[in-house]
Amino acid sequence: MGNPTGGLSERKKLILKAVVEAHIEGGEPVGSKSIVQSNLLSCSSATIRNEMAELEQLGYLEQPHTSAGRVPSELGYRFYVDSLVEQYANTTRDIARINQLLRSKMSELDQILETASKLASSLTNYTGIAIKPKISSVTMAKIELVSIDSFNFAMVMITSGGTVKTKKVKTPMPYEADALTQLSEILNLQICGLGADMITLPIIMQLENDMADNAFLVNPAIKAVYEVMNELDGGELRYSGLNRLLDYPEYADTQHLSSLLGTLEDQDEILELVSDPLRDDINVLIGSESPVKVMNNSAIVFKPIKKNGRTVGVIGVIGPRRMDYKKVLKTIDEIGVSISDIIDGERALKQGEDNGGEDDGGNE
């Protein structure tokens, strides 16, 4: 998300951190007086006021017209998440609860993910999400690329079941005709026959390596392939604690809340967002960073769950932009690690049983 960070002094960073955390806790605009009273900095109210004014000019803070205090901007939240957030320590009790509840449901992946969603919601007080991608039967039989202009081309995709889908792809840079020919050959050779769960990051990186100077064409093309697969065989999206949104004044506007709930219920946009195969590890999308328009006043944090390099599920939370990122990031990471441990443990247990069976047979 490469935002500029070099222009902030250590004092500005501390003040920005203090404003973000005070706003997360109270939900109200933060004034210089409250920063002074927190005893986090040994400087005058006037100095803090001047620094906050400069942070506003730089785009890290905003001043609601009805208040003398300031609130973090989207850029302020992003800088906080990327540079200032401290490690949050879940209690031993919370971690034990995560492991106990998840392991009690270890027989079925969808039960594990549903339990994880409920845990994420209860531990963070935001709306939990869980996705179980279907084991995709959709594969591409043939991919044809047709040039539109130097920044756009059409992808005609024929699935193994005979369905034909066309997607218009916009490229970040102009391309030459021979680059499209090269991409077509590589996609047909390496992508056709693979399900969505098999198009992993190493494969995408290999495609980029094969395309060399034209590697910039790979990501938009793969995204189009995945969108078609998702349309034809989308995953299952479940929410936990939707009513928790009502706890936050950001959702007091019934029209905005209705639009958000409609998008969550429709699922398609959220599914497409969190199922993007190019996303890895923990993802934090704040406000307009999300392509989902009604999320402008919200944030979504999610983590793909991997097995043998493939995404088998996604867990996360949705809440206001001022969510407690320290707690959320640590909680989602802990839950993700616990699920991975369960999956690995089941695999190891199965292998042990298989080996044990062979040994018993040999002894007899």
Domain pair 92-133+235-353 / 140-232, same fold: no
Quote the pLDDT of residue 188: 95
Quote the pLDDT of residue 340: 81
Over residues 265-291, the mean pLDDT reads 81
The yes-or-no verdict on residue 1 having pLDDT over 80 is no
Helix residue ranges, H only, 233-267: 254-266
Is the domain spanning 92-133+235-353 CATH 3.30.70.270? The answer is no
Over residues 316-323, the mean pLDDT reads 94
Minimum mean pLDDT range among 16-20, 226-230, 239-243: 226-230
Backbone angles phi, psi at 275, to 5 degrees: -95, 5
Rg of the chain (C-alpha set)? 24
Helix residue ranges, H only, 143-267: 177-190, 201-211, 218-232, 254-266
Question: Any idea where the domains of the chain sit in the sequence?
Answer: 10-84, 92-133+235-353, 140-232
Quote the pLDDT of residue 218: 94
Q: How many residues does the chain have?
A: 364
Over residues 168-179, the mean pLDDT reads 92
User: How far is CA 193 from each of CA 161, 187, 198, 309, rounded to the nearest angstrom?
Assistant: 11, 10, 10, 18
156 confidence band (pLDDT: 50, 70, 90): very high
The yes-or-no verdict on residue 355 having pLDDT over 70 is no
Residue owning tokens 């998840």: 102
* Dist. CA 236–CA 290, nearest whole Å: 20
CATH of domain 10-84: 1.10.10.10
* Dist. CA 250–CA 257, nearest whole Å: 9
Quote the pLDDT of residue 88: 61
The yes-or-no verdict on residue 361 having pLDDT over 50 is no
Helix residue ranges, H only, the chain: 10-26, 32-37, 45-57, 74-79, 92-103, 109-124, 177-190, 201-211, 218-232, 254-266, 268-274, 325-363
Which of these, 177, 111, 165, lies nearest to 139 by C-alpha position? 165
339-352, pLDDT tens digit by residue? Answer: 888 777 654 444 44
* Dist. CA 216–CA 157, nearest whole Å: 20
Q: Which long-range contacts (CB under 8 A, 24 or more apart) does 94-97 make?
A: 94/123, 94/331, 94/334, 95/334, 95/338
The per-residue pLDDT of the chain, averaged, comes to: 82
Question: What percentage of residues in the chain have a pLDDT greater than 90?
Answer: 39
Quote the pLDDT of residue 101: 64
Residue with more model confidence, 65 or 5: 65
Token pair for residue 7? 């222009």
Quote the pLDDT of residue 238: 87
User: Which of helix, strand or coil describes residue 144?
Assistant: strand
User: Which of helix, strand or coil describes residue 43?
Assistant: coil
Over residues 11-19, the mean pLDDT reads 90
Report the helix count and the strand count for the chain, using DSSP H and E: 12, 10
Quote the pLDDT of residue 185: 95
* Chain centroid to CA 289: 11
Residue with more model confidence, 141 or 352: 141
Backbone angles phi, psi at 62, to 5 degrees: -130, 150
Over residues 151-174, the mean pLDDT reads 89
* Chain centroid to CA 62: 25
CATH fold of 140-232? Enolase-like; domain 1 (3.30.390)
Determine how β-strand 298-307 pairs with β-strand 310-320. antiparallel
* Dist. CA 331–CA 180, nearest whole Å: 43
Q: Which one-letter DSSP state was computed for residue 160?
A: T
The yes-or-no verdict on residue 144 having pLDDT over 80 is yes
Residue owning tokens 């443990």: 345
Which of these, 297, 328, 324, lies nearest to 315 by C-alpha position? 328
* Dist. CA 196–CA 189, nearest whole Å: 16
Contact assessment for residue 5 and residue 16, using Cβ atoms and an 8 Å cutoff: no
89-134, pLDDT tens digit by residue? Answer: 666 666 666 666 666 654 567 778 888 899 999 999 999 999 876 5
Please give the model's pTM, rounded to 2 decimal places. 0.67
196 confidence band (pLDDT: 50, 70, 90): confident
Quote the pLDDT of residue 301: 94
